[in-house]
């Protein structure tokens, strides 16, 4: 194993090396930049992915040699996750024509639309707009809103910021990043050519950064206490909020083997290391209910790093992808020393934050069957606010009605038990019965008594039981084909 105890990335158009003799590998990108003098535009608001004041852009080299830019919350990204990438801060956006500083089009538009008052949020908003500018020409209002979901501004109000987004992204011209792209791509290739697995050691911490799946499994076998991380959007909070020192980390975010995506006639295969934002953009037509789920999942900054493997691996009872994948009847592909094995997602979770993953395995992929035409799949999320909030109660529901009766039903709930759980008794009652309002109202009574949820800060047990019951009625009203005649 080559171990230089360093990682390298591009910043200010130069290769920067970070030496972990000096820094902890769980230093966040935000804290690293704020501890130096040149990149202090980035701000800390919450240190938990909620405010977007720390938003930066990452440039990632694509197979065709181009660079793809994405906004990230730098408070949740550890330094080694920058390896082989370009880091772009608000200080990098303006350019110089002769001696005159030229603002980037998104900065200019923010000035012209009066999109900033106190300015604390502004650098983060600029970076989100920059990523939008680089990825979309004439974005829809839906896309602008989504790009800004992860940025809170409490002074200006969003109208001028949205105007700035529309104005700057409406007439695309080449910016300095387009012009510099070949040079930056050459630097990134230079870093990546030297790539081998890394073992970064700092005092009492060790951080493994493998580049191949087999290496990852070998490290998992020899370091059973190493905490697996992928996007780190869950795990980083242990460092930023609980101030834990994580002694051993196995970072699998560089494993290309986990980023496979394919669509066949019958199924979509999603690599566990794919970002949720990538998946969202690919599945709109083929798995629309998964698209709906991911459209109200965190923010664009969170989805740009958070992975499907991480959401399933966290096994949270309010994790959003579990119920909807249960409704689709998906299977989880696990990889370990003996190769791969498939587990149906209904058998994957076995208790509070417990899965069937063995200590030397990891999630490699998820296979989602493409539903036949007559299958209805829907996703519902109840949370205190629509955007950037985790579920109070969620439902992933599937239904097939054949010859006038229910022939297949899945009612998978999040937030109703210690684990994502199907309403077995209610499903059994509905099977073979007509999908009518009368039958569904009887089923709602069974459902109300089927779960004993918790009361917590998000909701009382009673509110959860009522919500779960009413979601079934909503599902019926959105899927019953009987015409309602207005009286």
Q: Is 401 in the site for ligand FAD (CB under 6 A)?
A: no
Smallest gap, in angstroms, from Cβ of residue 47 to ligand FES? 5
Q: Which stretch binds ligand FAD (CB under 6 A): 91-99, 137-145, 199-207, 229-237?
A: 229-237
Q: Is 319 in the site for ligand FAD (CB under 6 A)?
A: yes
Question: 50 or 112, CB closer to ligand FES?
Answer: 50
Question: 33 or 272, CB closer to ligand FAD?
Answer: 272
Distances (CA, A) of 487 to 438, 473, 484: 19, 21, 9
Q: Is 333 in the site for ligand FAD (CB under 6 A)?
A: no
What value, to the nearest 5°, has the Cα angle with vertex 482 and ends 480 and 483?
120
Smallest gap, in angstroms, from Cβ of residue 98 to ligand FES? 32
User: Which of ligand FES, ligand FAD, none does residue 116 bind (CB under 5 to 8 Å by kind)?
Assistant: ligand FES
The Cα–Cα gap between 388 and 6 comes to: 35
Nearest to 74 by CA among 132, 29, 7: 29
Smallest gap, in angstroms, from Cβ of residue 313 to ligand FAD? 3
The Cα–Cα gap between 75 and 90 comes to: 15
393-402/375-382 β-pairing: antiparallel
**Of 120, 158, 261, 448, the one binding ligand FES by CB under 6 A:** 120
User: 6: which strand partners?
Assistant: 19
Q: Is 116 in the site for ligand FES (CB under 6 A)?
A: yes
Neighbour tally for 466: CB within 10 Å: 15
Question: 51 or 364, CB closer to ligand FES?
Answer: 51
Q: Could you say which residues in the range 22-81 bind ligand FES, by CB under 6 A? A: 44-47, 49-54, 73, 75
Smallest gap, in angstroms, from Cβ of residue 473 to ligand FES? 37
**Of 26, 156, 391, 394, the one binding ligand FES by CB under 6 A:** 156
Smallest gap, in angstroms, from Cβ of residue 42 to ligand FAD? 17
Q: Is 228 in the site for ligand FAD (CB under 6 A)?
A: yes
Q: Could you say which residues in the range 293-312 bind ligand FAD, by CB under 6 A? A: 297-298, 302, 305-307, 309-311
Question: 111 or 118, CB closer to ligand FES?
Answer: 118
Identify whether the C-beta of residue 467 lies closer than 8 Å to the C-beta of residue 453: no
Tokens standing for residue 95 = 């350019």
Nearest to 133 by CA among 102, 82, 174, 98: 174
Give me the torsion for CA of 105, 174, 302, 48, rounded to 10°. -40
Question: 50 or 360, CB closer to ligand FES?
Answer: 50
Number of Cα atoms under 13 Å in the Cβ half of residue 154: 5
User: Which of ligand FAD, ligand FES, none does residue 1 bind (CB under 5 to 8 Å by kind)?
Assistant: none
**Of 230, 240, 254, 420, the one binding ligand FAD by CB under 6 A:** 230
Smallest gap, in angstroms, from Cβ of residue 74 to ligand FES? 7
Q: Is 75 in the site for ligand FAD (CB under 6 A)?
A: no
Question: 110 or 226, CB closer to ligand FES?
Answer: 110
User: Which of ligand FES, ligand FAD, none does residue 419 bind (CB under 5 to 8 Å by kind)?
Assistant: none
User: Which of ligand FES, ligand FAD, none does residue 310 bind (CB under 5 to 8 Å by kind)?
Assistant: ligand FAD
| Chain positions contacting ligand FES, by CB under 6 A | 44-47, 49-54, 73, 75, 116-122, 153-156
| Chain positions contacting ligand FAD, by CB under 6 A | 48-50, 227-235, 252, 272, 297-298, 302, 305-307, 309-311, 313-314, 319-320, 357, 362-363, 390
């Amino acid at each position: 194993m080559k171990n230089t105890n360093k990682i390298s990335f591009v910043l200010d158009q130069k290769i920067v090396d970070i030496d972990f003799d000096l820094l902890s590998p769980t230093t966040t990108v935000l804290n690293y930049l704020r501890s130096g003098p040149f990149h202090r535009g980035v701000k800390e608001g919450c240190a938990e992915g909620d405010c977007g004041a720390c938003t930066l852009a990452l440039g990632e080299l694509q197979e065709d040699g181009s660079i793809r830019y994405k906004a990230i919350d730098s408070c949740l990204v550890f330094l080694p996750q920058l390896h082989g990438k370009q880091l772009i801060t608000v200080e990098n956006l303006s350019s110089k024509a002769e001696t005159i500083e030229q603002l980037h089009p998104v900065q200019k538009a923010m000035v012209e639309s009066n999109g900033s008052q106190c300015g604390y949020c502004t650098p983060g908003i600029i970076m989100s707009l920059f990523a939008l500018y680089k990825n979309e020409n004439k974005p829809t209002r839906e896309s602008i809103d989504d790009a800004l979901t992860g940025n809170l501004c409490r002074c200006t109000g969003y109208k001028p910021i949205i105007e700035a987004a529309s104005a700057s992204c409406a007439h695309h011209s080449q910016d300095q990043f387009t012009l510099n792209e070949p040079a930056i791509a050459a630097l990134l290739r230079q870093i990546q050519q030297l790539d081998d697995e890394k073992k970064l050691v700092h005092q009492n911490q060790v951080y493994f950064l493998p580049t191949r799946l087999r290496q990852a499994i070998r490290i998992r076998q020899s370091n059973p206490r190493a905490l697996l991380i992928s996007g780190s959007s869950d795990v980083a909070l242990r460092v930023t909020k609980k101030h834990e020192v994580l002694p051993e980390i196995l970072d699998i975010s560089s494993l290309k083997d986990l980023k496979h995506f394919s669509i066949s006639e019958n199924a979509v295969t999603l690599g566990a290391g794919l970002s949720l934002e990538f998946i969202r953009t690919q599945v709109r037509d083929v798995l629309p209910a998964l698209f709906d789920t991911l459209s109200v999942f965190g923010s664009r900054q969170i989805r740009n790093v958070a992975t499907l493997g991480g959401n399933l691996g966290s096994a949270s009872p309010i994790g959003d992808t579990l119920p909807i994948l249960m409704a689709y009847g998906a299977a989880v592909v696990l990889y370990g020393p003996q190769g791969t094995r498939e587990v149906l997602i209904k058998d994957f979770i076995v208790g509070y934050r417990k899965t069937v993953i063995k200590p030397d395995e990891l999630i490699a992929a998820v296979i989602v069957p493409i539903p036949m035409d007559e299958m209805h799949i829907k996703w519902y999320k109840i949370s205190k606010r629509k955007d950037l909030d985790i579920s109070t109660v969620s439902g992933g529901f599937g239904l097939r009605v054949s010859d006038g009766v229910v022939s297949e039903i899945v009612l998978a709930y999040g937030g109703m038990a210690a684990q994502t759980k199907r309403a077995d008794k209610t499903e059994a009652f509905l099977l073979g019965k007509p999908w009518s309002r009368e039958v569904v109202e009887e089923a709602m009574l069974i459902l109300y008594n089927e779960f004993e949820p918790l009361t917590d800060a998000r909701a009382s047990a009673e509110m959860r039981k009522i919500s779960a019951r009413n979601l079934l009625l909503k599902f019926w009203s959105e899927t019953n084909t009987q015409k309602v005649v207005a009286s």
